[in-house]
Structure 1
Amino acid sequence: MDITIKPIITERATKLSEKRNCYTFRVSPDANKYQIKALVEDIYGVKVKSVNTAVMRGKNKSRWTKSGLLKGKTARWKKAYVTVADGQSIEFFSNI
């Protein structure tokens, strides 16, 4: 099983990282907290204090086409809130 992890860079996620030292990631839906913790510690070289996860529901979408109204749904996905130990941080844009 291959786990993917991608940081979420939004205003809300940035405020969380500044106030609580908590970083937000989009992860594979089948990943558990222990796998997410090990992957973040391995990739970013930080000590993870806790991991909270949330499954984001798929949204209903519709659009008009020549053949009529098409209705569908986006895929659901998992979000992980990773709290890092005090004094440590994750730099997403350090290699630019």
Structure 2
Amino acid sequence: MKFYEVIKSPLVSEKALNLRDSSPNAGQLVAFRVDRRSKKADIKNAVEKLFNVKVRSVNTANCKGKTVRRGRYVGKKSDWKKAYVTLAPGYNIEDYLNSL
């Protein structure tokens, strides 16, 4: 899998932004929406190559898609995966995140 296929987008939610700003080492915890088939090692390599940083740890979570109803029609949003990436001390990607 190519690096730009693993990371789909940064996760811009209230929880992700609070974790980024309130962690003891502010700016070192970053959340991404990633491909469902990617493993922690793939995510680590992709972040290191794309942003030129060192990654200390990667935590992932699988999120189930919600059921959506539009009148009598029932559908389902797709399942997705998110990754919380902790950067090594001395590294940050604030320039990229502030541009969001």
TM class, shorter-length:
0.7 to 0.9
**Residue 70 of structure 2: aligned partner:** 63
User: Secondary structure in 1 aligned to 2:83?
Assistant: strand
- Pair 1:31-2:31 in alignment: no
Question: Are residues 1:84 and 2:91 paired?
Answer: no
Given the superposition, is the C-alpha separation of residues 28 and 42 from structure 1 closer, same or farther in structure 2, using an over 3 Å criterion? same
Classify the secondary structure of the residue corresponding to 1:41: helix
What TM-score does the superposition give when structure 1 sets the normalisation length? 0.85
Q: How many residue pairs are counted as aligned between the two chains?
A: 92
Give identity over the alignment, percent: 41
Alpha carbons of structure 1 residues 94 and 18: separation in structure 2 relative to 1, 3 Å: closer
Unaligned stretches of 5+ in structure 2? Answer: none
Instruction: State the Cα distance separating 1:10 from its structure 2 match.
Output: 2.4
**TM-score normalised to structure 2 length:** 0.82
Counterpart secondary structure, 1:31: coil
**Higher strand proportion, which one?**
1
SS state at 1:42 partner: helix
